[in-house]
Structure 1
Amino acid sequence: MTAIAPAASTTTAVAHRPGKKMNIALWTVQILLGLFLIVASAAPKLFGQHDAVEAFETIGWGVWFRYFTGLVELAGGIGLLVPRLTGPAAVGLSITMVCAALTQAFLLGAPALMFFPLILGVVFVWIAWQRRDSITAARELLSR
């Protein structure tokens, strides 16, 4: 009598790799947004530019929140430039941009300004989707 072996799984993970043109477009957007986040968004918060200080005083959560936000943006900007981190960084930045939009609308009283972070959030969701292999790889690395 022979034993019946369990059937092999027919679902296998298919790696997602964008085509060459899409990869070039993604890297162009990632580099531009990464540099923007590092230079124009994180640096003013971390170095205490007057406008950033004033905005965070209006929010009323203290100086620690300005530094925290600056560090999150700095980490996200760097993450967009590191191939293994692009997907996870884009996910984190998507969440950050939703929070920024809500802050603009409700804490700073400038609902018209909420559209810029929302548009960036959509771009970050697109990057995260296109770089989902790096998200899967990071999740597998963390689960070990």
Structure 2
Amino acid sequence: MSKTQILLWIMRVSMAALFLFAAFGKLTSRPMMVQEFDIVGLGQWFRYFTGIVEVVGAAALPIAQRAAPIRRWLRRAAEQPSGWPEKAR
């Protein structure tokens, strides 16, 4: 592994840890988080939704580089008029 790859891996893992830390406060109903989402006015369901999205983001960050084949497939799907890739013949 090159130094750049190691640095990118460290940054991804650090960001994932920060996402998990932020999600923990939302999903465990910390008083500060409950109050913040009351002020926003979207309801407590949005606090849970945001926490779940942060957990999914934390899980996806370390594996983002390995998602290239899925990304290519989705790009081909978006370019097709029907929205799905044609079957290989």
TM-score band w.r.t. shorter chain: 0.7 to 0.9
Q: Equivalent pairs: percent with the same residue?
A: 32
Write out aligned runs for 1:98-109 (5 A): none
Where structure 2 has 5 or more consecutive residues not aligned to the other structure, the ranges are 78-84
Q: Does 1:20 align with 2:2?
A: yes
Corresponding residue number in structure 2 for 1:33: 15
One of 34, 42, 45 as aligned partner of 1:61: 42
Write out aligned runs for 1:42-81 (5 A): 42-81=23-62
If the length of structure 1 is used for normalisation, what is the TM-score? 0.48
State the alpha-carbon separation in 2 of the partners of residues 52 and 138 from structure 1. 35
Listed one character per residue, the Cα deviations across residues 99-131 of structure 1 (whole Å, up to 9, x for unaligned) are: xxxxxxxxxxxxxxxxxxxxxxxxxxxxxxxx4
Where structure 1 has 5 or more consecutive residues not aligned to the other structure, the ranges are 1-18, 87-130
State the alpha-carbon separation in 1 of the partners of residues 39 and 69 from structure 2. 40
State the alpha-carbon separation in 2 of the partners of residues 73 and 139 from structure 1. 20
Question: Runs of at least 4 residues of structure 1 off by over 4 A?
Answer: none
- The residue matched to 1:48 in structure 2 has which SS? coil
Give 1:141 shift.
3.8
State the alpha-carbon separation in 2 of the partners of residues 63 and 138 from structure 1. 33
RMSD: 1.9
- The residue matched to 1:44 in structure 2 has which SS? helix
Larger Rg: 1
Give 1:140 shift.
2.9
**Paired letter, 1:75:** V
If the length of structure 2 is used for normalisation, what is the TM-score? 0.74
Q: Does 1:138 align with 2:64?
A: no
Give 1:63 shift.
0.8
Give 1:31 shift.
0.7
Question: What is the aligned length?
Answer: 76
